[in-house]
Structure 1
């Protein structure tokens, strides 16, 4: 968290508000089937943060949680259904969806789970079959 900056975000209706501070561990796009279905889109823009960099500032009692697997705890606003974040306890990181923090300068660095993509993106960024080795994946790159 070297830059000390704080960025504000909220759910769709604003009942739940949060902040992220410092620098994320990573930013990019996830193409996995779970993220696509959860986001109702062909790809999910993520920002990964250490849990201590993410703070719920309003509406914590209004947050619902769903975990399809023990690897992800997806959080949303109980009022509007707006998605907020996903906790990844095994990685020790929290994904705050890029769209939730509109003032944050999103600069993606990688595509993960690109083997599952439904939307080919020719942007010159690395495309990984799953996730980096450091995060428990194969680290294998695949063609754009």
Structure 2
């Protein structure tokens, strides 16, 4: 994967986001919080250094909600389209893979797989919770 820039937008296009460089990680989250937020069985994430993520249009249309100290979720106040989640404790920003159409999404792992409602047998590592370097147990579950 070469270092490049990608653009994404909310559902209505009022907010646009640009990311540059390489994501720190890409994968799938199965936690209750991500599933409830996304209204889906799993969330595809792309984690970026915060300085690599820029709002290029519509910053005044961004709403946010902080349910826990680990996540500040952001969306478009016009259409409700989800944009990103800042994770200050981990020093990364999750720009939802679905809003970056030119990103070559190459998932590396599943996190919070103990909470899954959709079993994916794809050969990727399945973290019970989070990797140890992010404060989790680092325990792997079977595929």
Please say whether Structure 1 and Structure 2 have the same fold, judged by a TM-score greater than 0.5: yes
Over 3 Å off, 4+ runs: none
Aligned residues: 143
| 1:41-90 C-alpha deviation (Å, 9 max, x unpaired) | 00000000000000000000100000111110000000000000000000
Q: TM-score, normalised by structure 1?
A: 0.97
| Distance in structure 1 (CA, Å) of the matches to 2:106 and 2:118 | 19
Q: Which residue of 1 aligns with 2:88?
A: 89
Provide the residue aligned with 1:48 in structure 2: 47
Kindly report the root-mean-square deviation, in angstroms, between the aligned alpha carbons of the 2 structures.
1.0
More strand by share: 2
Rounded to whole Å, the distance in 2 between the matches of 1:70 and 1:121 is 29
**Deviation at 1:3?**
4.0
Q: Tell me, in whole angstroms, the C-alpha distance in 2 between the residues paired with 1:107 and 1:11.
A: 22
> 2:15 maps to which residue?
16
Alignment of structure 1 residues 130-141 onto 2, 5 Å: 130-141=129-140
Q: How does 1:1-144 map to 2 (within 5 A)?
A: 3-144=2-143
Structure 2 residue matching 1:139: 3-state secondary structure: coil
Gap runs ≥5 in structure 1: none
Q: Which runs of 5+ in 2 are unaligned?
A: none
TM-score between the two structures when normalised by the length of structure 2 = 0.98
